[in-house]
Structure 1
């Protein structure tokens, strides 16, 4: 399955919306389970990234399949990396396994060379110093020395997966920042981008009100009087 490029307008709009705001917007639409558990930035200040999901799926290790020889198979992490498009955010279903690193420095260096935007997994990495040196932004649960085949079998890419307890489909959109990774279903991307900009504008105004000493009741969430003041504020902008 080919990944559909994300438009520059949508990408730029979502890059200004925090993952916290996105979870609130999706909550109002009835979606509660969109934050991928265990997806933490491997270093501070990786920024906020937006991209289409390119999915990878691992299953539990089986001794006849999870072998070093499998790395040369047509269905392998190496082959999947060559299929990754520029700008995608790779989302790997590692089943929460934390004692086998799914990628190391060489694979991450190739991903960086292909201009993959970032990697998100509910698992861990290996060769951490080398991974950091590649400059590839990564969100994961930490590090482990053993290779992936010590605990996982890679089975495919670009199919529905679960990452951190969240269902992720190819071409969904992923936004990552210091709070972790959030999933936006493909059908809701435009709506979230539009509403996200307004949410950030409103919360910026609420913060300015807090800073000047306005009490929270009636302000957050805003009552009719606060909404009228906010509307007046917007008109002056």
Structure 2
């Protein structure tokens, strides 16, 4: 069975660049303002510390429980169920392999070999709401991988790969092929594809504003009027930003 293809309109590069400038907390706020209440893959954590985060489009994989007559113990890799390999060999640059493991950590969604191959294919990340195998080895890759747990138990012991590139649930969040996932050291958020261009610019601007506000709170100022910012604080931020831009231009000119 070949991996189905999802037809989606391409997103501009600046959408990815601006989303990458924002934390998942900032993106959650932007989505909340647009009625998306819970887009975070709660409980998933980075494997290793050799990366800061990622942005990419969802390439989905759905697991169901394995069954003895379909997934025999004597030859689990030669039953014709090659969808896991199809996924890894079809994922491309700026795509994220997202696995619906039903939040079941009784066996691994993948191990070092498959994650390494996805990395070599140019994937942006590997994400599962289940477990990964070879956690130490994956952690040494410096590649964005996230899971709920680490286990040595092989995938066929618990799971059968049922579908690729179909809508899934991952950590309780609906993920459609082509949705944009953004990860940082705090976790992962799912941005509905149609909203990605709308929130990318505002999210990058909010991130810059909040970095400015954070310096003021760290300097000892009260939250009142600073966070959330009053009109006066926003005006002060605009003036600070304009002055910084002028200084940068002057430095380039010199």
> Structure 2 length as normaliser, TM-score?
0.86
Q: Answer yes or no: is the 8 Å Cα contact 1:37–1:164 preserved in 2.
A: yes
Q: Secondary structure at the match of 1:205?
A: helix
Shift of 1:108: 1.7
Structure-1 separation of matches of 2:84 and 2:219: 54
| Counterpart among 163, 169, 173 of residue 156 in structure 1 | 163
2:52 to 42, 47, 50: 47
Q: Is the 8 A contact 1:100 1:152 kept in 2?
A: yes
Q: Give the corresponding residue for 2:190.
A: 183
TM-score (norm 1): 0.92
Q: 2:42 aligned with 1:37, yes or no?
A: yes
Q: Once the 2 structures are TM-superposed, how far is the Cα of residue 54 of structure 1 from its aligned partner?
A: 0.6
Partner secondary structure for residue 89 of structure 1: strand
SS at match of 1:71: coil
Question: Paired residue for 1:71?
Answer: 77
1:129 to 1:27, Cα distance in 2 relative to 1, 3 A: same
* 1:45 positional shift: 4.4
Q: Match of 1:10?
A: 15
1:176-202 CA-to-partner distances (Å, cap 9, x unmatched) read 111111000001101221111110121
Of 17, 20, 23, 2:25 maps to 20
Tell me, what secondary structure is at the counterpart of 1:10? helix
**Unaligned residue ranges in structure 1 (runs of 5+):** none
Counterpart Cα distance in 2 of 1:212 and 1:110: 47
**164-173 vs 123-132, which moves further:** 123-132
8 Å Cα contact 1:6/1:51 also seen in 2: no
In structure 2, how many angstroms separate the alpha carbons of the residues matched to 1:125 and 1:18? 25
* Alpha carbons of structure 1 residues 20 and 67: separation in structure 2 relative to 1, 3 Å: farther
CA drift of 1:8 comes to 2.4
Matching residue within 167, 178, 203 for 2:174: 167
Structure 2, unpaired ranges of 5+: 246-254
